[in-house]
Structure 1
Amino acid sequence: MSDGQSSPSAGTGQIVVSGLTKQYKNLRAVDNLSFTVQSGRVTGFLGPNGAGKTTTLRMLLNLVTPTAGQATIGGHRYADLVDPLRSVGAVLEASSAHKGRTGINHLRVICAAAGLPRERADEVLAMVGLTPAAKRKFKGYSLGMKQRLGIAAAMLGNPQVLILDEPANGLDPEGIRWMRGFLKGLAAEGRTVLVSSHLLSEMQLLADDVVIIAAGRLVRQGPVDQVIGSMAHGTQVRVRTPQAEELAAALREQAATVNKDEHGALLVAGVDAPTVGRVALATKVELHELTTERPDLEGVFLELTAGKAGIR
């Protein structure tokens, strides 16, 4: 890169949240929250509205003072970083800029204030695909364009750590796919990427790890596949057959749980698809469909956070 910075090395940007608590009079927004975000991975930060996600991110960036506990980036509080712009890039809302200023000039102002070379603004604008809109005024930017401009600003210092709150807001499907590739690429370079989002299907595609909170407390953390796999009791086999009652009776003899959906298909739990197939063969039942249905991140999230409102 033309600013002469070397690429960030893996392992230097681990985020550690330890016993973090924030009390607002009668509301405890975050309650003894602890988790770790590893370098070289995209971590999804998930929770229902009011779960304390934004408050946690603000404490991580020292925009809000914790009531108890601490959060560190690479072993240091954000406020203690010597050159935070070169260490951490953060976007907590769609980019804000002077309405009459162009996108490129907005970035050049930040470069001048941070002692970064002027050409870095052009580089990050190209990085987020906004070069064609470089000379358009900010007031003419769509929400999705503002999101991209915010990410461009966060990348000006070539940071090791990127922290984003709902970065896909306002993006169309193509923009969301671009965002996925962009963030995965940053993690592949060894950077630490922490992303808060409500788009659970997208987070299943994007994230390597997830941290799920509800009512300010941690409810689950780990690699996406492991978190989904931990709810393996939600796995079932969907079966369509013209001899449903006969097959259901045979499967119940194998200690399977069998229910019907609204279309008459059997939903079988407690045995796997090969077992269903063997039972069907042994009972001479004709099968029209045999599909294993596994829980997805959205289903796991809803089950883990069901009924958990904000702490008061």
Structure 2
Amino acid sequence: MTDGRSSPDTTGEIVVSRLTKIYGSAPAVDDLSFRVEPGRVTGFLGPNGAGKTTTLRMLLNLVTPTAGQATIGGRRYANLTDPVRHVGAVLEASSAHKGRTGINHLRVICTAAGLPRSRADEVLAQVGLAPAARRKFKGYSLGMKQRLGIAAAMLGDPRVLILDEPANGLDPEGIRWMRGFLKSLAAEGRTVLVSSHLLSEMQLLADDVVIIAAGRLIRQGPVDQVIGSMAQTARVRVRSPQAETLRAALERESATVDVDDQGALLVGGVDAPTVGRVALAASVELHELATERPDLEGVFLELTAGKAGIR
């Protein structure tokens, strides 16, 4: 903050403990527990209807849990003193009066929150929206509205940032900016929790992931560890003008062999050196031999297969 006040005395750790929310007879969130640590970007992932938004709303005291609890720095959001200085949240693209400028929208929030009006200018510059500060909200693109929402979340200089699909509407340059911005906040020791469907981007952005499906925890941990835990799914991609001969030889070695839409063999159960040895023994010419390791998208799809969201 630039007004001389010290940062809130909180570690910023988010703890979700046996959180449950039932609508009618169906649980939207079902006995869910996980932790989000300060100084790291944590991706919150799940199929549509997995319960991500409901979880975030319970964390922010917008929805009352049926059971369990969620805390930020050891306290429920409702019990935080001056929560704008503890937690910044964006659960949807910023909404403002269409005739109000971006700077005036933020100044209104500053006044209501007891923050200096100068913070509006500071956060607009921070999110790269200063050139559009005096444009009316009705002329903002979706990506600009996303940036304005993040600016509003940053007004209190919070130690915790909670974002639901923040890259929605951003172009590639905006997504790259978002990645750098959130990483820089985590590097300052802040807690950053991000829900997103952009799995390739999340692999670049997140330090940790929490994956849920049908309201339940499926997997949690550092991104590299979560991907590494599925290393057994690595396949060898091989192309050969004698593909059928090679396929038969590999299957005699108990390998599993599929063919992709480009005619390449996708071999499981053996490693690349074994494929090369088998090809040499069968006098098969190879045009490509490479190991395809799982990425976050592939791991996510495998972990959540058949676990459709309830709501």
| TM-score interval, normalised by the smaller of the two chains | over 0.9
Please tell me the residue identity of whatever aligns with 1:102. Answer: T
CA shift at 1:283, angstroms?
A: 4.1
Aligned residue in 2 for 1:203 = 202
Provide the alpha-carbon RMSD of the alignment: 1.9
Unaligned runs of at least 5 residues, structure 1: none
Task: Indicate if the aligned counterparts of 1:8 and 1:189 stay in contact, CA closer than 8 A.
Answer: no
Aligned residue in 2 for 1:98 = 97
Separation (CA, whole Å) in 2 of partners of 1:297 and 1:50: 20
Separation (CA, whole Å) in 1 of partners of 2:287 and 2:47: 39
Task: Indicate if the aligned counterparts of 1:89 and 1:154 stay in contact, CA closer than 8 A.
Answer: yes
CA shift at 1:261, angstroms?
A: 2.8
Aligned residue in 1 for 2:241 = 242
Deviation per residue, 1:112-162 (Å, 9 max, x gap): 222222211111000101000000111111111111001001011111100
Query: Aligned pair 1:4/2:4, yes or no?
Result: yes
TM-score (norm 2): 0.94
TM-aligned CA distance change 1:20 to 1:249, over 3 Å: same
Aligned residue in 2 for 1:149 = 148
Aligned residue in 1 for 2:18 = 19
Aligned residue in 1 for 2:171 = 172
TM-score (norm 1): 0.93
TM-aligned CA distance change 1:309 to 1:247, over 3 Å: closer
- Which stretch of the first structure deviates more once superposed, 13-22 or 259-268? 259-268
Separation (CA, whole Å) in 1 of partners of 2:197 and 2:5: 34
Aligned residue in 1 for 2:84 = 85
Task: Indicate if the aligned counterparts of 1:5 and 1:158 stay in contact, CA closer than 8 A.
Answer: no
1:123 is paired with a residue whose SS is: helix
CA shift at 1:7, angstroms?
A: 6.8
Separation (CA, whole Å) in 2 of partners of 1:262 and 1:135: 52
Task: Indicate if the aligned counterparts of 2:159 and 2:191 stay in contact, CA closer than 8 A.
Answer: yes
Deviation per residue, 1:69-124 (Å, 9 max, x gap): 00001111111111211111001111111222111111111112222222111110
Deviation per residue, 1:282-312 (Å, 9 max, x gap): 4443211011112222222222222323448
1:267 is paired with a residue whose SS is: strand
Task: Indicate if the aligned counterparts of 1:42 and 1:183 stay in contact, CA closer than 8 A.
Answer: yes
Unaligned runs of at least 5 residues, structure 2: none
Q: Percent identity?
A: 85
TM-aligned CA distance change 1:237 to 1:80, over 3 Å: same
CA shift at 1:238, angstroms?
A: 0.6
Please tell me the residue identity of whatever aligns with 2:2. Answer: S
Task: Indicate if the aligned counterparts of 2:40 and 2:186 stay in contact, CA closer than 8 A.
Answer: yes
Separation (CA, whole Å) in 2 of partners of 1:129 and 1:198: 24
- Which stretch of the first structure deviates more once superposed, 301-310 or 49-58? 301-310
Aligned residue in 1 for 2:190 = 191
Aligned residue in 2 for 1:32 = 31
Aligned residue in 2 for 1:309 = 308
Alignment of 1:129-140 (within 5 A): 129-140=128-139
Aligned residue in 1 for 2:274 = 275
Separation (CA, whole Å) in 1 of partners of 2:79 and 2:100: 32
Task: Indicate if the aligned counterparts of 1:91 and 1:150 stay in contact, CA closer than 8 A.
Answer: yes
Separation (CA, whole Å) in 2 of partners of 1:244 and 1:93: 50
1:145 is paired with a residue whose SS is: helix
Task: Indicate if the aligned counterparts of 2:203 and 2:296 stay in contact, CA closer than 8 A.
Answer: yes
The size of the alignment, in residue pairs, is 311
Task: Indicate if the aligned counterparts of 2:46 and 2:213 stay in contact, CA closer than 8 A.
Answer: yes
Separation (CA, whole Å) in 2 of partners of 1:311 and 1:141: 34
CA shift at 1:204, angstroms?
A: 1.5
CA shift at 1:5, angstroms?
A: 4.6
2:299 is paired with a residue whose SS is: helix
Aligned residue in 2 for 1:229 = 228
Task: Indicate if the aligned counterparts of 2:14 and 2:37 stay in contact, CA closer than 8 A.
Answer: yes
Please tell me the residue identity of whatever aligns with 1:2. Answer: T
Alignment of 1:279-294 (within 5 A): 279-294=278-293
Task: Indicate if the aligned counterparts of 1:125 and 1:149 stay in contact, CA closer than 8 A.
Answer: yes
- Which stretch of the first structure deviates more once superposed, 92-101 or 125-134? 92-101
Aligned residue in 1 for 2:126 = 127
1:291 is paired with a residue whose SS is: strand
Deviation per residue, 1:225-246 (Å, 9 max, x gap): 2222222232100111123233
Separation (CA, whole Å) in 2 of partners of 1:259 and 1:47: 28
- Which stretch of the first structure deviates more once superposed, 124-133 or 103-112? 103-112
Separation (CA, whole Å) in 1 of partners of 2:76 and 2:187: 25
CA shift at 1:210, angstroms?
A: 1.1
CA shift at 1:6, angstroms?
A: 5.3
